[in-house]
């Protein structure tokens, strides 16, 4: 068989590194001592996958190198600005981001909501550290590059490519804490799959109401707390937060992961009503998973929190 013709010039993409197990090292299982996320540089990850260089001309930038459990507004703002910077350059056709698995879905949804380009942002990650014998990162990164240069991903916003699947930012969630096939898009299912060098899609993400949102300045991320309703929930955590001093330390919004169909313990509900009376925005999700027929088409609680923060910042800017 003759080798696949290589397009000349190759498409140009940028790979932004943020850390995670994909850039992690360990002598064995990530749960054993010696494991650390976010150790290797994005350049080092790319050097280990020569096939990537045959598909695309790669630019690489280290935006952060953290365990994604520590992700937050400051890195998100920096990341979104770097994505926008690179994608504004005509020769760059897409952005790939290496990330930890633990908060990948929050970062993906944030980037999806602030995205203003037809060029895709493709997030990928790994469950096994880069130094593991059976590391899954190289294949995932290669697949992410395939997705980034595919004409089929134009206009999809932020997508996640993991374990041969293409997931949309709205629905994807980490559903397994150990398995390599850790991500799921629940009952809606993935958007498609990686098939050799091609990307097969069977559905497109739905439009996001209100998007694109402005990227918050690092100091402008509002405090939005996430609360669980559970047996014995008494609202004390929320009442304490509402009593914080100075007043600027109090939450501006709360997301409640309610029971079942988004129901809330009556004592927690009383605290929520008091907070709402003081101007706090409250949104309900379900701790069971996406709320069928719920607000914003079944967003998980963590993603509803991302959306609420962006809505509060956009509302502030609108009222200035």
The dihedral built from the CA positions of residue 316, 74, 173 and 60, taken in this order, carries a sign that is positive
Site for ligand SIN in 151-210 (CB under 6 A): none
Please state, in angstroms and rounded to a whole number, the distance separating the CA atoms of residues 158 and 197: 20
Closer by beta carbon to ligand SIN, 18 or else 229: 18
Which one of the spans 61-69, 75-83, 155-163, 253-261 is the region binding ligand SIN (CB under 6 A)? Answer: 61-69
173 is annotated as an active-site residue: no
**Contacting residue, 35, 42, 58, 67, with ligand SIN by CB under 6 A:** 67
Closest distance of CB 20 from ligand SIN, Å: 4
Closest distance of CB 23 from ligand SIN, Å: 8
The dihedral built from the CA positions of residue 312, 173, 80 and 220, taken in this order, carries a sign that is positive
Q: What does the radius of gyration of the chain's CA atoms come to, in whole angstroms?
A: 20
Closer by beta carbon to ligand SIN, 125 or else 271: 125
Closer by beta carbon to ligand SIN, 21 or else 185: 21
| Backbone angles phi and psi of 259, in degrees to 5 | -80, 155
Asked if 102 is part of the footprint of ligand SIN (rule: CB under 6 A), the reply reads: yes
Asked if 125 is part of the footprint of ligand SIN (rule: CB under 6 A), the reply reads: yes
Closest distance of CB 163 from ligand SIN, Å: 12
Q: Under rule CB under 6 A, how many of the chain's residues touch ligand SIN?
A: 12
Please state, in angstroms and rounded to a whole number, the distance separating the CA atoms of residues 244 and 165: 44
Residues 24-43: x/- map of binding to ligand SIN (CB under 6 A)? -------------x------
Residues in contact with 144: Cβ distance below 8 Å, sequence separation at least 6, in sequence order = 96, 122, 123, 124, 161
Which one of the spans 13-21, 42-50, 188-196, 281-289 is the region binding ligand SIN (CB under 6 A)? Answer: 13-21
**Is residue 209 within 8 Å of 311, Cβ to Cβ?**
no
Please state, in angstroms and rounded to a whole number, the distance separating the CA atoms of residues 294 and 159: 22
**Contacting residue, 26, 40, 68, 124, with ligand SIN by CB under 6 A:** 68
What are the residue ranges of helices labelled H in the chain? Answer: 42-47, 50-55, 73-87, 104-114, 137-149, 236-242, 266-277, 301-318
**Contacting residue, 77, 101, 107, 124, with ligand SIN by CB under 6 A:** 101
The dihedral built from the CA positions of residue 163, 62, 151 and 120, taken in this order, carries a sign that is positive
Catalytic member of 21, 98, 124, 153 = 21
Q: Which residues would be at the binding site for ligand SIN (CB under 6 A)?
A: 19-21, 37, 67-69, 100-102, 125, 127
Instruction: Kindly list the catalytic residues.
Output: 21
């Amino acid at each position: 068989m003759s080798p696949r013709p290589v397009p000349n010039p190759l498409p140009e993409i940028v790979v932004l590194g943020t850390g995670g197990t994909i850039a992690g090292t360990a002598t064995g299982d990530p749960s054993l001592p010696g494991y650390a996320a976010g150790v290797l540089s994005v350049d080092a990850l790319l050097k280990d996958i020569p096939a990537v260089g045959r598909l695309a001309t790669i630019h690489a930038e280290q935006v952060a190198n953290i365990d994604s459990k520590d992700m937050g507004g400051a890195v998100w703002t920096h990341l979104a600005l770097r994505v926008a910077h690179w994608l504004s350059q005509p020769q760059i056709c897409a952005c790939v981001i290496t990330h930890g698995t633990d908060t990948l879905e929050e970062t993906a949804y944030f980037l999806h909501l602030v995205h203003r380009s037809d060029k895709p942002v493709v997030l990928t990650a790994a469950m096994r550290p880069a130094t593991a014998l059976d590391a899954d990162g190289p294949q995932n990164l290669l697949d992410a590059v395939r997705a980034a240069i595919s004409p089929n991903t134009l206009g999809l916003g932020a997508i996640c490519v993991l374990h041969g699947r293409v997931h949309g930012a709205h629905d994807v969630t980490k559903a397994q804490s150990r398995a390599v096939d850790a991500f799921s898009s629940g009952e809606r299912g993935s958007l498609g799959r990686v098939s050799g060098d091609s990307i097969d899609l069977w559905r497109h993400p739905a439009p996001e109401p209100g998007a694109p949102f402005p990227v918050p300045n690092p100091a402008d991320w509002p405090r939005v707390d996430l609360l669980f309703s559970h047996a014995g929930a008494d609202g004390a955590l929320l009442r304490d937060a509402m009593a914080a001093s100075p007043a600027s330390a109090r939450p501006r919004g709360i997301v409640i992961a309610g029971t079942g169909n988004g129901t809330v313990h009556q004592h927690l509900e009383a605290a929520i009503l008091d907070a709402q009376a003081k101007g706090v925005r409250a949104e309900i999700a379900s701790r069971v998973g996406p709320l069928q027929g719920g607000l914003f088409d079944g967003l998980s609680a963590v993603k509803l929190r991302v959306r609420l923060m962006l809505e509060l910042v956009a509302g502030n800017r609108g009222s200035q």
